[in-house]
Chain A
Amino acid sequence: MADQHDVETTGHQWDSEEGYPLKEFNNPLPRWWLYSFYATVIWAVVYWVLYPAWPMLDGYTKGMLGWSMHQEFAQDSKAALAQKKASNDRLEKLSLKEIARDNSLLQHAMSGGKAIFGDFCAPCHGSGGVGVKAGGFPTLADDDWLFGGDLDTIYETIDKGRDGAMPAHLQGAGGAFSEAQVNDLTEYVLSLSKRSQDAAAAQRGDQLFHGEAGCNGCHGDLGNGSIKGTVAGSPAPPVGAPNLTDAVWLYGSDPAVVRASIAKGRTGHMPAWGSGAKETGKRLTPLQIKQLALYVHGLGGGQ
């Protein structure tokens, strides 16, 4: 086991008594590694000179290039805006109806709207606006609207938000009616969509609906909601009272769910994203809301 290499050892030797003289070679580092290492050291110094690097007592070295992340971000944003400027200027100037008539501009607006919808709206309204029944988040892909499905109303809804205002009716839950009366009301509401089991109860509910409880004040004399606007007693502007005579149910069609809505009320909340936003600031610009309105209008139910 004589030294086969002509290399210096560290002088450390193990197991010499056993006849295995293990020694530690002090080999030089491989050249490629050593020079790469020196190169990284030199690069570090170059970097210190060019880029922000060393913290000082009251600031930091700014570097010769004057680069800053926030500046780069500002330039990026500006460049992206400049790229879209021609289309965006027209979107800003034209009304929603005018944009809807210009096919290529509409495509541009809707592709922007789709991206915004994915992050801001889809969590509640589902991707593609299919709605989420469990939470009372309305579908946007059908032609059943609480506040109106024309472009300007959709814009207003996104811009200012909406609040449901169905009051509680049951005593103890904030209302003024007994269990029996709430049951009667439920029976009448079910009768509007031809699902009543008890004609006498529905008859009593009818009296309450158009009398003491005043449901017709919002839902209309025929119970077909506040935005149809075709029946006597429909209030204007719309208060978001749904049509009770059709098969579309925001919180579910089950009699127990209908009863819960009457007993405890419903206060669905659509956040405001533009000028109506108070506590959280305006998340979306008028331009973005325009694109969103066009996209939502185009989901299938726009009027």
Chain B
Amino acid sequence: MKHDTIERSIPLMVILTLVLISIGGIVEIVPLFFIKSTIEKVEGMRPYTPLELVGRDIYIREGCYNCHSQMIRPFRDEAERYGHYSLAAESMYDHPFQWGSKRTGPDLARIGGKYSNMWHQAHMQHPQSVVPESVMPSYPWLKKSPLKYEDIEKRMQVLAMVGVPYSAEQIANAKKDLQAQASASSDASGLSQRYGNKVPKDDFDGQPDQISELDALLAYLQMLGTLVDFSSYQAQAR
């Protein structure tokens, strides 16, 4: 068939274009669903707790991904600064993932626990108060805005539909677990029973009397990259 024929017939050209792109897509995408080694087998991964999940939504709402990646690439310079390179398993419950490639600010894949809550509070209020050379904008409203989480069960149900293993019990106790994690003094036995006892539980925003958006965002940031137990992870030649 001469290209002349194809170019002169729009329907034919559309059909052939679709066929060509489909082949490319099938070859590149479909095997990913079947290749078992795509996602490493690691210890420690769990779905986000309700508080972390809402915090993640705030992270996306504020567009943090525009300046911060969450993907440590397997290069020595990156690993020395940020820690072990990111594994596919670490974002297997992310919908959508936050890998990104734009780094105006540093990578956040392992920011969890790196700085204290107090630092994060000062930093979100006015980044230049702690890092004078920073170009990050201030997010003072996070501390003042009470967290909206009436629909937390719904959010978890939707994620469960796309494969995040939230149990019925986790969804039913979502509000209770969220409130428990945002306080330093609450009883968190249910929370640790449902999500493991490594869940950082604190009054993240330094305001004991209210659960603010900052509580949720910091809960999310303080767990990033901390789940996988790397002492048990053996890098396969991949």
Which residue numbers of A lie inside 8 Å of B, CB to CB? 10, 54-60, 68-74, 76-77, 80, 119-120, 122-124, 126, 132, 134-137, 268-271, 277, 279-281, 283
In the assembled complex, B14 has its CB within 8 A of some CB on chain A: no
Stretch in B112-120, B140-148, B161-169 with 4+ CB within 8 Å of A: B112-120
In the assembled complex, B230 has its CB within 8 A of some CB on chain A: yes
In the bound complex, CA of A137 to CA of B116 (Å): 11
A73 touches B74 (CB 8 A): yes
Q: In the complex where A71-B237, A279-B200 touch, is A132 in contact with B76 (Cβ < 8 A)?
A: no
In the bound complex, CA of A136 to CA of B116 (Å): 12
Name 18 A/B residue pairs within 8 A (Cβ), A-sorted. Answer: A54-B27, A56-B35, A58-B34, A60-B35, A70-B237, A70-B238, A73-B74, A73-B76, A124-B115, A124-B130, A126-B130, A132-B129, A135-B129, A137-B119, A269-B117, A279-B113, A280-B112, A280-B114
A-B contact count (CB 8 A): 95
In the assembled complex, B95 has its CB within 8 A of some CB on chain A: no
Select from chain A the residue with minimum beta-carbon distance to B126: A134
B residues in contact with A80, CB < 8 Å: 76
In the assembled complex, B4 has its CB within 8 A of some CB on chain A: yes
Stretch in B48-56, B79-87, B174-182 with 4+ CB within 8 Å of A: B79-87
In the assembled complex, B226 has its CB within 8 A of some CB on chain A: yes
In the assembled complex, B36 has its CB within 8 A of some CB on chain A: yes
In the assembled complex, B1 has its CB within 8 A of some CB on chain A: no
Tell me the B117-137 residues at the A interface (CB within 8 Å). Answer: 117-119, 121-123, 129-132
Q: In the complex where A55-B32, A70-B238 touch, is A124 in contact with B27 (Cβ < 8 A)?
A: no
B122 touches A135 (CB 8 A): yes
B111 to A: closest C-beta gap in Å: 10
A55 touches B115 (CB 8 A): no
B237 touches A135 (CB 8 A): no
Q: In the complex where A54-B27, A60-B35, A270-B116 touch, is A134 in contact with B235 (Cβ < 8 A)?
A: no
Number of residues on chain B facing chain A (CB within 8 A): 40
A103 to B: closest C-beta gap in Å: 26
A77 touches B119 (CB 8 A): no
A135 touches B76 (CB 8 A): no
In the assembled complex, B11 has its CB within 8 A of some CB on chain A: no
Select from chain A the residue with minimum beta-carbon distance to B28: A55
In the bound complex, CA of A70 to CA of B122 (Å): 38
A89 to B: closest C-beta gap in Å: 19
Tell me the B195-216 residues at the A interface (CB within 8 Å). Answer: 198, 200
A123 touches B130 (CB 8 A): yes
B residues in contact with A281, CB < 8 Å: 113, 226, 229-230
B114 touches A271 (CB 8 A): yes
B residues in contact with A71, CB < 8 Å: 237
B residues in contact with A270, CB < 8 Å: 116
Select from chain B the residue with minimum beta-carbon distance to A55: B31
In the bound complex, CA of A123 to CA of B237 (Å): 36
In the bound complex, CA of A120 to CA of B115 (Å): 8
B114 to A: closest C-beta gap in Å: 7
In the bound complex, CA of A126 to CA of B198 (Å): 30
Select from chain A the residue with minimum beta-carbon distance to B84: A281
B198 to A: closest C-beta gap in Å: 6
B150 to A: closest C-beta gap in Å: 29
A73 touches B4 (CB 8 A): no
